[in-house]
């Protein structure tokens, strides 16, 4: 554990199935195995992150707490407890719909990462997610709003739709990350193994994408320090 402040990274969008849990678990494992004290808080009642971690033995050392949705103050207490014992990265996986759990995660986040698939619906819903964030910020005047980044996920490389989506998001002014996650079997299979591409095949394409994305996010987090 280090003395650096614990950063809360919420993976959030109001679009279901956009790749939140995949992103949360891959990034958290990347940070953990890079030597950073990292924990996940699973705020989704489906408990997908928790189930993922328990599907095998490779992520057993990663702390994955669940946040009871009926207890409004639980997230605040859990984050404070993790910070107190020195966790540097606290990754929050959220439900894919407007819910107290999602609003709570947005309220506590230092950095919000919004995954978007290359589809017209995801593009429109991205706007809803940003509206929701603006609403949360407006309710807390004087409190520093979270830094926000958008990331393309489940991208089929070199397709017209992927290029079009990138152009549209940038033209609309969204803070799009340079690195993205492609649609790969390695990501889809990972939850069944209780592991992540970075541990299963560290030199594989999926692992390299997570590594590049994690490094880009580290730079964003460092800029915030």
Ligand X SMILES: Nc1ncnc2c1ncn2[C@@H]1O[C@H](COP(=O)(O)OP(=O)(O)OP(=O)(O)O)[C@@H](O)[C@H]1O
Report the site for ligand X in 181-210 (rule: CB under 6 A). 181, 183-184, 187-188, 191
Q: How far is the CB of 20 from Mg ion (least distance, A)?
A: 5
Measured from the CB atom, the residue of 48 and 78 that comes closer to Mg ion is 48
Residue 51 in the binding site for ligand X (CB under 6 A): no
User: Which among ligand X, Mg ion, none contacts residue 154 (Cβ within 5 to 8 A by kind)?
Assistant: ligand X
Strand ranges inside 3-135, DSSP E: 7-11, 38-42, 63-66, 89-93, 111-116
Residue 18 contact, options ligand X, Mg ion, none, Cβ 5-8 Å cut-off depending on partner type: ligand X
CA 120 to chain centre: 21
Closest CA to 27 of 205, 198, 164: 198
Q: Does 20 bind ligand X (CB under 6 A)?
A: yes
On whether the CB atoms of residues 170 and 5 are closer than 8 A, the answer is no
State the Cα angle at 18 between 33 and 158, rounded to 5°: 85
Taking CA atoms, 167 is separated from 107, 155, 164, 180, 181, in Å, by 29, 14, 5, 14, 17
Count of residues touching ligand X (by CB under 6 A): 18
Q: Which of residues 82-141 bind ligand X (CB under 6 A)?
A: 96
The residue whose two tokens read 């996940």 is 40
Q: In this chain, which of 48, 58, 107, 129 binds ligand X, going by CB under 6 A?
A: 48
What does the binding site for ligand X look like in residue numbers (CB under 6 A)? Answer: 16-22, 44, 48, 96, 153-154, 181, 183-184, 187-188, 191
């Amino acid at each position: 554990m280090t003395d650096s402040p614990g950063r809360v990274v919420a993976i959030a969008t109001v679009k279901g199935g956009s790749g939140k849990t995949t992103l949360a678990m891959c990034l958290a494992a990347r940070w953990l195995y890079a030597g950073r004290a990292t924990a996940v808080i699973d705020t989704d009642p489906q408990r997908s992150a928790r189930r993922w971690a328990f599907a095998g033995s490779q992520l057993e050392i990663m702390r994955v707490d669940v946040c009871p949705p009926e207890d409004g103050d639980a997230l605040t207490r859990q984050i404070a407890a993790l910070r107190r014992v020195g966790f540097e990265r606290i990754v929050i996986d959220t439900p894919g719909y407007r819910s107290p759990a999602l609003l709570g995660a947005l309220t506590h986040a230092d950095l919000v990462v919004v995954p978007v698939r290359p589809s017209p619906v995801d593009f429109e819903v991205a706007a809803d997610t940003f509206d929701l964030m603006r609403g949360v910020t407006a309710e807390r005047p004087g409190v520093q709003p979270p830094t926000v980044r958008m990331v393309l996920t489940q991208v089929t490389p070199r397709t017209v739709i992927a290029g079009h989506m990138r152009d549209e998001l940038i033209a609309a002014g969204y803070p799009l990350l340079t690195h993205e996650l492609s649609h790969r079997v390695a990501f889809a299979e990972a939850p069944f193994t209780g592991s992540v591409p970075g541990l299963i095949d560290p030199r594989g394409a999926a692992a390299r994408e997570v590594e590049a994305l994690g490094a880009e996010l580290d730079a964003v987090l460092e800029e915030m320090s």
